[in-house]
Amino acid sequence: MKPFVFKRTLSGIPTLFGMTLIGFLIIGLTPGDPIEMELRRLGVSFTAEQVEALRVEYGLDKPLIQRYFIWLLDLFRLDLGTSIASGRPVLELFKEHLPITATLSVLAFVSSLALSLVLGTVTAVSQRTSVSTSLYVLTMFLVSVPSFWLALFLLAVFALGLGWFKLLHFGNAQDLILPVITLTLGNAAVMSRLVRERIIAVMSEDYIRLAITKGLSRRTILGRHVLKSILPPLITNWAISFGSLLGGSVIIENIFNLPGLGQLALQAIAERDFAILQAYLLFMGLVFFLANFAADLTNHWLMPQLKEDDHGVR
Amino acid sequence: MNKFKQLLGVSGVLAASLPALISGVPAAQAEDIQQLRIAVKKDRYSVDPKKFNFTTRRPAGQIVETAVKPDENFIPQGVLFETWDYKDGIYSIKLREGIKFHDGQTFDAKAAIDGLKLYDQGRSDFLQIDQDSFDQTGPYTFTFKSEINSSLVIENMTHRGASLFSINGERAENPIGTGPYLLDSYKPKQSISMKRNADYWGDAPKVENITYHFIADDQVRLLALQNKEVDIVAEVTPQMLLSLPKDGSVVVHQSRPIRYVALLTNLHGKAPYDTLKDKRVREALAYAINREQLAQVLFNGKGVVAKGILPDWMFGLGDKHVDGFDYNTQKAEALLDEAGWTKGSNGMRSKDGKPLKLRLVAAYPNVSSVRPMPELLEQMFRTIGIDIELVQVDDSGVYDDTYLATGEADLYMEFASNNNADPTYLLYNLFHSKTPWGYQYTAPGGKLDTILDNARQAQSREEVIELVREAHREIVQTKLAAIPILMVPNFNLSRPGLSIPMFEHADWIDYGQVTQTK
């Protein structure tokens, strides 16, 4: 186990560095001058000299690669830079916005995990029944419907129609119910399809047929044999889903007016707030790396008989 | 028994309305509001001490005040300044007496000079005051000079960004101003609440507490109003106007038309974006737009046909200096024929084998603000044989760098307004060839530069206005650097029963004076 952990950690370091470099280049080469955009937003006249002076102040006059290495050095000192738009340290902004996104993502992840297992199992084991067909159609619908539409639909029904929820955010746990439901429904629908496919595939294996002929109960077969076989690919998928939830809550946070990381990133894109964007990219890279790492470790722990290579379980 | 109850009810109503009947006051009397909730799009919070404001201008404007404000014609009228005079390059200021900052400090000449000096340390020294020229001539009087010998410094002080803070407070965290409200609580990106300043020097506000809620999504702002979670929606897009409920639960408030919708034309583009160098093609486009139809279809039918990009009421400009363009497709077709663009069998035009195709970029301020105008214009231009490549960009950075700065488009659709009492502000920043805003390809240069330079250097307001009229005509009539389409009011939405003192410039709507009609 220890060499495996060591190898995976080691392989992650160049990946993260590469990602920060590519991210820095992409952000730096994106059209739009953050200083000019900021000054225009203020709606006042400005001169080319003033723009240049501010570029110097924010270090934007230096070549991109030089800026990257400065950023990297600062990163080792846990300094993520200062937001051009707000003038506040990025680390402070992250501390402020991360809790909402993390809570939202964890809740949505746990609930979509549970829902997907139920939906996937029911649609797989009771194929060609009306219940299974209805649930399958429902999951297909939820997979295809855009999350912003679903969010507005839920708001119209439960906030505007029934008056059960408020649209404005007041920092209560209740504020998270509709966003979590929106994220859960879409995510569970996608995850349940994989659960269904894997169960159907495993159920046609010879050893399962043997178990059935031996007279083992369906529950025992599902719990003891099927679930064990389908877990490794599902765990990898769940890890990716968790990362996607963290990154994919941007639109949901915007619609539900939740001051999370997604909203911060969205505004940073519009304002070309490089320091925030770069930190966001780094954060997302770390999340995906850690989620995959956790998935590989879990798989390794669950099925030590599987051989590992540099990329984890195969 | 029932009859007795009815009688009692009728008597009660009569008794309640008796005072109003006696005093002759109409039943629909305005009453003060305890709590007013306003939905705005974004929180532009900053704790950067170099910035002008600590949050979005509108909430900030309730706490800190400017020296002057625009009157109904966008001419400066005194707020903290009582009188001012400009003579021989020197501004002489007399402050209003009896004004105190929220912390009790007297607002006097020293405080005003200190406040104005903050702007020299700011990100954009847009007032361009000569910082070494301040001279306190009395407890409430002082003088200063303009760095660029401009007679328009006072006009620029009508910008909310030029509000005067006390230097005593940490203006990012706890701004100290002279305004009608005090900062109560602030939750970044969520809301900012203010309470009435009991010691306010001016007319007492009618609203006790104001809370601005920041709601980024347009539809959610509207839903919040319908759900009675806010009382007013302050930023209204055309699409919100198209999706208003028909049951009367949402009321539309509007100002006079101020925002222009116009097509800026690329006058200096390189091939293939050089077609509009020929003025006849620009004129043909101007004549091909059915403005009446657009005015009826869009903006709830509240837009009006535009002759220019500055409204006639602003600065007392009038509209006699511009002629406008009527809808005349025959004339448009004749102009294109004359320019050598002949119609083919498919109804589209070409010259020397080159099709007449123009790229129209719709981006400013964002696509949702102008939609479906670009699609409607595309159809109108197609009828006279012009093929339009429609580019809709929802990112101002991409718009600026990819299309404006490179000149890689023929037409730029913009929905904007002159939000400054400086009459030269919009025309100079958009159409002077030294424009700092990146509009080099749509700036005619030459004579217009001279007119605008002269306007900015003119020493009397009458002279400035006359030169602005001349520049405006040059832009929208002679050079067609901008093809005006519509003039649109500033909109607010509210629940029924609210009276909002609407103003053309959104930053100057005084929400403290909103009343509830009984």
Name the minimum distance, in Å, from the CA of A30 to any CA of chain B.
8
The beta-carbon neighbor of B397 closest among A37, A50, A159 is: A37
Residue of A nearest to B161 (CA): A42
Select from A252, A38, A242, A80 the least CA-distant residue to A149: A252
Name the minimum distance, in Å, from the CA of A301 to any CA of chain B.
43
Buried b (16+ CB within 10 A) or exposed e, B268-299: bbeeebebbebebbbbbbbbbbbbeebbeebb
The beta-carbon neighbor of B400 closest among A32, A43, A152 is: A32
Grouping H, G, I as helix, E, B as strand and the rest as coil, residue B397 is helix
Select from B357, B21, B43 the least CA-distant residue to B214: B43
pLDDT reported for residue A125:
80
Rounded to an integer, the average pLDDT of A222-249 is 81
Grouping H, G, I as helix, E, B as strand and the rest as coil, residue B64 is coil
Helix and strand numbers, DSSP H then E, in chain A: 14, 2
Interface TM-score (ipTM) > 0.90: no
pLDDT reported for residue A304:
67
Choose the mutation target among B146, B185, B227, B402 for the interface with A, i.e. most A CBs under 10 Å: B227
Task: Test A167 with B223 for CB contact under 8 angstroms.
Answer: yes
Alpha carbon distance B302, B300 (integer Å): 5
Task: Test B123 with A51 for CB contact under 8 angstroms.
Answer: no
Residues of B within 8 A of A254 (CB-CB) are 216-217
The domain limits of chain A are 13-76, 98-311
Task: Test B51 with A272 for CB contact under 8 angstroms.
Answer: no
pLDDT reported for residue A314:
36
Name the minimum distance, in Å, from the CA of B430 to any CA of chain A.
11
pLDDT reported for residue B292:
95
> For the domain with range A98-311, which CATH number is right: 1.10.10.10, 1.10.10.60, 3.30.1490.190, 1.10.3720.10?
1.10.3720.10
Residue of A nearest to B430 (CA): A45
Residue of B nearest to A164 (CA): B227
Select from B64, B53, B132, B133 the least CA-distant residue to B93: B133
Task: Test A257 with B217 for CB contact under 8 angstroms.
Answer: yes
Helix, strand, coil fractions of chain A, as percent rounded to 5: 75, 0, 20
Task: Test B401 with A255 for CB contact under 8 angstroms.
Answer: no
The beta-carbon neighbor of A272 closest among B124, B397, B428 is: B397
The one-letter code for the residue type at B187 is K
Task: Identify the residue with better confidence: B86 or A236.
Answer: B86
Task: Test A263 with B125 for CB contact under 8 angstroms.
Answer: no
pLDDT reported for residue A228:
77
Alpha carbon distance B159, B149 (integer Å): 19
What is the DSSP code (8-state) at residue A222?
I
Measured CA to CA in angstroms, residue A36 lies from A86, B51, B124, B413, B454 at distances of 15, 14, 11, 20, 26
The beta-carbon neighbor of B220 closest among A51, A96, A167 is: A167
The beta-carbon neighbor of A50 closest among B125, B187, B395 is: B125
Query: In this predicted model, what pLDDT tens digit does every residue of A15-58 receive, in sequence order?
Result: 888 888 888 888 888 777 777 777 766 665 667 777 787 788 77
Name the minimum distance, in Å, from the CA of B152 to any CA of chain A.
13
Helix and strand numbers, DSSP H then E, in chain B: 15, 23
The beta-carbon neighbor of B224 closest among A37, A46, A168 is: A168
Query: How many whole angstroms from its chain centre is CA A10?
Result: 23
Task: Test B123 with A54 for CB contact under 8 angstroms.
Answer: yes
Residues of B within 8 A of A30 (CB-CB) are 397
Residue of A nearest to B157 (CA): A44
Residue of B nearest to A165 (CA): B227
Alpha carbon distance B343, B486 (integer Å): 29
Q: What is the pTM for the complete model shown?
A: 0.79
Kindly give the confidence (pLDDT) of every residue in chain B, 518 residues in length, as a single tens digit, with 9 standing for 90 and above: 444 444 344 444 434 443 443 344 444 467 788 999 999 987 765 555 555 445 566 677 788 899 999 998 889 999 999 999 999 889 999 999 999 999 999 999 999 999 888 776 655 566 778 889 999 999 999 999 998 888 989 998 888 778 888 888 776 677 889 999 998 888 877 888 999 999 999 999 999 999 999 888 888 899 899 989 999 999 888 778 888 888 889 999 999 999 999 999 999 999 999 999 999 999 999 999 999 999 988 888 889 999 999 999 999 999 999 999 999 999 999 999 999 999 999 999 999 999 999 999 998 877 777 778 899 999 999 999 999 999 988 777 888 888 998 999 999 999 988 888 899 999 998 999 987 778 999 999 999 999 999 999 898 889 999 999 999 999 999 999 999 999 999 999 999 999 999 998 888 899 999 999 86
Beta bridge partners of B144: B91
Task: Identify the residue with better confidence: A3 or B486.
Answer: B486
Task: Test B51 with A156 for CB contact under 8 angstroms.
Answer: no
Task: Test A47 with B436 for CB contact under 8 angstroms.
Answer: yes
pLDDT, chain A, mean: 82
Task: Test A39 with B425 for CB contact under 8 angstroms.
Answer: no
Alpha carbon distance B323, A304 (integer Å): 84
Name the minimum distance, in Å, from the CA of B407 to any CA of chain A.
14
What are the tokens at B174?
A: 């706890």
